[in-house]
Amino acid sequence: MAESKAAQVRALVDQLNGWRRAYYTEDAPVVEDHVYDAAYRALQALEATDPDLILPDSPTQAVGDVVLPDFTKVPHPLPMLSMGDVFSLDELTDWAARLEAGVAQPVDYHVELKIDGLSLALVYENGQLVQGSTRGDGNIGEDVTANVRTIKDIPQTLAEPLSLEVRGECYMPKAAFAQLNAAREADGASTFANPRNAAAGSLRQLDPKVTEQRQLATFMYTLIDPAQYGVTTQHEAIAFMQRLGFATNPSSVVATDLSAIDAYITAQTADRDTLAYGIDGIVVKVNDLALQAQLGNTVKVPRWEIAYKFPPEEAATVVQDIEWTIGRTGVVTPTAVMTPVALAGTTVARASLHNVDYIQAKDIRIGDTVMLHKAGDIIPEVSQVVLAKRPAASVPAPIPANCPSCDQPLVHLDDEVALRCINPMCPAQVQEQLTHFASRNAMNIDGLGPKIIAQLQALGLVQDVADLYTLTAADLSVLDKFKEKSVNNLLKAIANSRQNSVERLLFGLGIRHVGSKAARILAEHFGDLDHLMTAAVEDVAEIKGIGPIIADSAVTYFRTEAVHTLVAALRQAGVNLTYKGQVVAADGAFAGQTLVVTGKFTAFSRPELTAKLTALGAKVTGSVSKKTDLLIAGEAAGSKLAKAQSLGVPVMDEAALLDKLQ
């Protein structure tokens, strides 16, 4: 029996450690949290029967995971521990009873949301951010200071010049998570399983520019050495950190008993789907910080806090079909069409299956009963197949060899997980490209939506974006429900788009990796499309904000003969190919200065003034710090004016500004 238990322990340790590597180190989990939790609790139960069974590499003895070799190591003087878990109110009640039995005073609790992110430590010296690090293995983390500086809600300068350390959670908002996965899927890249792994993968980037694009955010909840600031409770610590400028979660409360904690859990569970960020439970902490210190820690977890984990929110349904659709970049995406089922407040009938590798790894087949959950509480996703309900005649899902739109062979490029159609005239791709080209952030051709484009294609009137500029009133008059007013409005919108600044055209062309921001940077740098089309990769890559990936994609695109033909057609149609935006003056009145604008102005709107100052060489930021060269203050300037005065930052009013601009 002892050998049998030892073998079970060894198997569970190996399995859990493999899952931990995928979750913590590779940021690519292979099982859902509740599956890991069940195996972890089974291991704990076995180890509890005989402590001699505990292995040195058991995950019950570890915190976090290994530090990635590409990062500088950061020792944590005070270890960053993980938390114990409970999965029901009964287990939470038992934990509280054990805790209260060991102390001789009434216990108040601080109850907080458990944010679905990764732990982060921030160190400040004299009010200035000097270091950011991950938890790592609890004792040694990874130095991610450069990446942390790109996160907007982390203050670079505190409201007071204090030297301190705070800890909290770095997370990815739901909207940013959905946007990131959609962009990765369109590019043929693998998607993130959940916001936590997306946040971890984004914070642990070697290029801070990538981190900056990922829209990360934070909530701070731990103040190290609080006594030196006169802080005695967790509730006071949250308020103190908020005053210093940190983002703290507004949902925390102080509870005096289990009934109040239960009410908080009930309310937050009901509101969970409405939050802008993911949560996977509730954290209960002893509120009195002195009592926390008295209770202390085990080798792995604090005795004074516990995490109540939400039960998995899943629903079973049947895969009726798998549809394959083509995006504008040629990526072929499979979608499961399922029996409609209620899940997390909505009815779900479709779920992306991402790519061929995903289907094969989970062995998803037509006719399978599958369990659904919502990744990040928003995106329906298949978590597992219920093999016990698989039909006897089941066969693996068919993988298309040819494009479902143009019937050309599909390819699986070496650096991608996606199938791709590389036929530039594929009707499905052309429709998506035309829709993107006409969209608001691209050429902004109002009234030219997917349904109109589909009709134009069906009639053979457009095959690429240049054909839009050859359309006539006679062409449009044959469209369904298109009367004279609709025809004139669309022709006017197409004509107006000819005058757009070239960055809109660049974005509208749908060049891989070239978003609206990169398009503007390229347009501003080169001035027109002709100079960009003849640029070398090295020259483009050196532009601030671009880098080698965007450079390679843009240069490769413009080397294509078909693209040269397309640009020639656009030029012939009178489409503007030059940059019309303001060029920043290197010798402008505010060249090289960091400015902050606050208050109300009579001669400008705030956006107009910001654009004008930027054109004169200024860097306009949103917060006042010691690095601010000048505060431009209108009426009702408020706290930014007070802070500038306290830091000795020069202040200029509107009258003085107008004099300088003359």
Both structure tokens of 193: 């399983």
Residue 136 has pLDDT above 80, yes or no: yes
- pLDDT tens profile 423-476: 767 888 888 889 999 998 899 999 898 899 989 988 999 988 999 999 999 999
Residue 154 has pLDDT above 90, yes or no: yes
The greatest distance separating any two alpha carbons of the chain, rounded to the nearest whole angstrom, comes to: 91
Residue 68 has pLDDT above 60, yes or no: no
- Counting residues of the chain whose pLDDT is more than 90, the rounded percentage is 43
Do β-strands 253-255 and 109-115 pair in parallel, antiparallel, or remain unpaired? Answer: antiparallel
Task: Lowest mean pLDDT of 32-36, 294-298, 479-483, 576-580, name the range.
Answer: 32-36
Residue 607 CB contacts under 8 Å (≥ 6 apart), including other chains = none
Mean pLDDT of 267-284: 89
Out of 5, 73, 114, 300, which one is annotated catalytic?
114
Both structure tokens of 209: 């520019």
Mean pLDDT of 346-359: 88
pLDDT band at 90 (very low <50, low <70, confident <90, very high): very high
Residue 473 CB contacts under 8 Å (≥ 6 apart), including other chains = 487, 488, 491
Residue 23 has pLDDT above 70, yes or no: no
Residue of 348, 401, 357, 356 whose CA lies nearest to 378: 348
Range picked from 168-172, 210-214, 541-545, 658-662 for highest mean pLDDT: 168-172
Q: How close are the terminal C-alpha atoms of the chain, in Å?
A: 91
CA angle 453, 456, 457 (to 5 degrees): 90
- pLDDT tens profile 197-214: 888 888 888 778 888 888
Q: What is the pLDDT of residue 163?
A: 94
Instruction: Let me know: does 277 contact 251? Beta carbons within 8 Å.
Output: no
d(CA 529, CA 221): 50
Range picked from 138-147, 220-229, 581-590 for highest mean pLDDT: 220-229
Domains delineated in the chain = 2-61 (1.10.287.610), 73-309 (3.30.470.30), 315-389 (2.40.50.140), 427-572 (1.10.150.20), 594-661 (3.40.50.10190)
CA distances from 456 to 212, 329, 461, 466, 505 (A): 40, 20, 5, 13, 21
Residue 1 has pLDDT above 50, yes or no: no
Judged by DSSP in three states, 478 sits in coil
d(CA 147, CA 84): 29
Mean pLDDT of 641-658: 86
Residue 507 has pLDDT above 90, yes or no: yes
d(CA 545, CA 524): 12
Residue 646 has pLDDT above 90, yes or no: no
| 389 given a catalytic annotation | no
Torsion of CA 6, 8, 14, 20, to 10 degrees: -120
Both structure tokens of 213: 């694009």
CA angle 397, 182, 268 (to 5 degrees): 100
Residue 350 CB contacts under 8 Å (≥ 6 apart), including other chains = 335, 336, 337, 338, 380
